[in-house]
Chains A and B, each alone.
Chain A
Amino acid sequence: MSMNRDFDYSLLAKLTQAFGPSGNEQQVAEIITDNVKDYVESIVTDTMGNLIVRKKGNEQKIMIVCHMDEVGIIVTHINKNGFLYYATVGGLKNTDMISKRVIFSNGTVGIIHKEKDETIDKKPEKLYIDIGAANEQEAKELVRVGDMAVISGDFLENDSVIISKALDDRIGCFIALEVIRTVTSPYDLYFVFSAQEEVGARGAKTAAYAIEADLAIIIDTTFSYDTPKVQNNRVSLNNGVAIKVMDKSIVVSPAIKNWMAKIAAASDIPHQWEIITAGGTDSGPIHLTKGGIPTGGLAIPVRYLHSGNEIVGKKDITAGIDLLTALITTHLYFES
């Protein structure tokens, strides 16, 4: 049984605290670039904002995908009194937004709230953001229409878990970074740090088209529903890395998921099955690219996804790093 090892979690802190709503992933990409440039052959960006890092090998092309973006909001109007109105970017429920603290790329902080007597339905127009500006002009010095903000949430850790905003999917980026810096693989590795996953896996679509890999492996997060009264939940925290069986965007080929489980078992890496019926991932558009790209996925269980207070287990991170390393250093599923 692999235990949780010590990693440089200050890098994860940096990654999670970076500003990166869909379409504005530059800060995250810069941190990743700084941390991989001594280990890889090339680093490029495309028009969607994907960061594509290649670690060259002579064997088949494997595309390893984790997304850089996080959910957030976009400012649609600034009113005369200096309050902001917004629309959501990615899966955020209105009812969960009241009293949330949001932060813009320039550090401006705002509080989301509602009018005293307003009832909240699905329309975010009924909520506003208070940035403490006295009037329209003062607000416009800090924020422009079209600017995005993210839900803030500090990075905290204890011996077994990490709490932060944006662990979805900076935890995937962190795992990929660890693997890039340590792995020696015969395969031609393309690490895709994808953009705009939260709005419908858009960046992954163009990256998959450009790379045309022989195999794609997604590293994302999955719901951990091990709340106090839930029994028989499929996935729980610190119970191992999850191997994707299906989500709303893909049904993984049995050959791929069984290969992943076999490799995990052979190396004593704790693992569980990810079966979700809501929510898609980058694996959706990737496996349907061109003539079809064999695609599987690893997922790190997270409690309270998209909340600003996401929780992951350190054992699961260890298992994720170990399993990804094992997968890309042994025979691929179609060779074994």
Chain B
Amino acid sequence: MFLKYLSELHGVSGNEKDVRDYIIENIDNNVDSYRVDKIGNLLATKKGKSNPAIKVVLTAHMDEVGLFITEITSEGYLKFQTIGYMDVNILVSKPVIINNSVYGVIGSKAIHLQKPEERKQSFLIDQLYIDIGANSKEEAEKNVKLGDYAGFTTAFTSFGSGFYKGKALDNRAGCAVIMELLKQQYNCDLTTVFTVQEELGLRGSKIISNYLNADLAIVVETTSAMDNQEQDRENWVVELGQGPACSLMDQATIYRPELIKKTIQIAESYGIPLQLREGTAAANDAGNIHLAGAGIPTITISIPCRYIHSMSSVISQSDYTNCIELINLILNNCQEYINLPHRGWEVMK
């Protein structure tokens, strides 16, 4: 399955090549053409059965959060920075891999050696380092240089009653959904865009938005679920197993109510579970895409994800398959999005 391979590939923001190559290899037979733009976004097109056809953009980002080597100490340890938004508390003692070949572990002072007051505090990133088993700076430099990326080594597995666990599910799950959908032929013309550097502030999609033109854009994402972690239900945002989530608003986009209502209608009429994303935090590539050119009607459909931006994220298998099915239905019914009146009225003289 695409998702397993995608999850285990390394593609920290700015270093998405392995992910991009894997996607190209596996969609090549299902698309008419593809190209990689100057910043590294992968664009693949697939003509629709209709002529002329509605133009739909399907997009997901390829990059994941991770680490970046900034210093090699005289002892041969590697100091690092995070790429993208990561909680330093989750890094301690995790295994990492650098350049797809060098294994390391994130070290810190053992509990026995910590003073009582240190035990009450969380680590700062400056107190952590990657230990690659080198005895000196010279030895470390044989395998690692400044600016190299480090990623996590989590194996993708299914577990429990219908869940997947893995790293980088944000947003390889979105990439996998689009790859599955490309096996189908639709009436609409599809442009699928696999973007780079989303986790650094929507950078890849900024480039796309300079030339993108479409009748409808669908951003496929993952979104953080706080179900059963937060005591108060109003803070859950989304709940695993309740279906993909349709965004209302985030920090970069207010989604058009007409498009949201249409999505709810389609889900209801085909019996696909759908939840609304009950929160407005964070942002995704829709922020750039909906403002492309004279504007593109845009929706975001997300797979709820626990422990997002960690090396062990969890999604529900049914949310994943329902996300594919929902977007499949949206693509089959995309003319309903195009014929929506612009806010119910328009006057021309």
Q: Which residues of A contact B (CB under 8 A)?
A: 22-24, 26, 29-30, 33, 37, 40-49, 74, 76-77, 79-80, 85, 87, 89, 125, 145-146, 196, 199-200, 202, 205-207, 209-210
Contacts and interface: CB of A to CB of B under 8 A. Distances in A.
B278 A74 contact: no
Interface stretch (B111-119, B135-143, B340-348): B340-348
Contact of A206 (B255, B294, B346, B347): B294
Given A45-B343, A76-B234, A146 B291 contact: no
B254 A29 contact: no
A47 B348 CA distance: 16
A77 B233 contact: yes
B265 interface: no
B241 interface: no
A87 B249 contact: yes
A77 B248 CA distance: 12
Given A26-B344, A209-B294, A37 B349 contact: yes
Contacts of A29: 343, 345
Given A76-B280, A209-B294, 9 more contacts: A43-B349, A47-B296, A48-B291, A49-B342, A49-B343, A87-B281, A145-B248, A146-B248, A202-B290
B26 interface: no
B297 A47 contact: yes
A207 B256 CA distance: 17
A74 B249 CA distance: 8
Contacts of A37: 347, 349
A29 B257 CA distance: 16
A23 B257 contact: yes
A79 B278 CA distance: 12
Given A76-B278, A196-B254, A44 B291 contact: no
Contacts of A30: 345
B348 A44 contact: yes
B279 interface: yes
B201 to A, nearest CB: 14
B348 A87 contact: no
B349 to A, nearest CB: 6
27 contacts: A26-B343, A26-B344, A29-B345, A33-B345, A37-B349, A42-B348, A42-B349, A43-B346, A43-B348, A45-B346, A46-B295, A47-B256, A47-B294, A47-B295, A49-B256, A74-B249, A77-B278, A87-B249, A87-B280, A89-B254, A125-B232, A125-B234, A199-B254, A202-B290, A202-B291, A205-B291, A206-B295
B294 A74 contact: no
B276 A146 contact: yes
A45 B346 CA distance: 6
B235 interface: yes
Contacts of B232: 125
B343 A209 contact: no
B287 to A, nearest CB: 9
Interface in B324-349: 342-349
A42 B348 CA distance: 5
Nearest to B294: A210
A45 B281 CA distance: 29
Closest 9 A/B residue pairs (Cβ)? A23-B254, A206-B295, A87-B280, A77-B234, A210-B294, A85-B234, A47-B295, A146-B248, A43-B347
Interface of B: 232-235, 248-249, 252, 254-257, 260, 276, 278-281, 290-291, 293-297, 342-349
Contact of B349 (A41, A46, A146): A41
A122 to B, nearest CB: 12
A23 B280 CA distance: 14
Nearest to B216: A47
Nearest to A34: B347
A207 B249 CA distance: 21
Nearest to A78: B234
B290 to A, nearest CB: 8
B342 A47 contact: yes
A79 B234 contact: yes
A92 to B, nearest CB: 13
Nearest to A74: B249
A209 B344 CA distance: 24
B293 A206 contact: yes
Contacts of A199: 254
Contacts of B248: 74, 76, 145-146
A123 to B, nearest CB: 9
A77 B276 CA distance: 10
A82 B294 CA distance: 40
A145 B245 CA distance: 13
Contacts of A77: 233-234, 278
A205 B279 CA distance: 25
A200 B233 CA distance: 30
Nearest to A207: B294
B346 to A, nearest CB: 6
B293 A89 contact: no
A82 to B, nearest CB: 13
Contacts of A26: 343-345
B344 to A, nearest CB: 7
Contacts of B252: 200
Nearest to A69: B254
Contacts of B347: 33, 37, 43
A46 B342 contact: yes
A300 B277 CA distance: 38
Contacts of B254: 22-23, 89, 196, 199, 202
A187 to B, nearest CB: 19
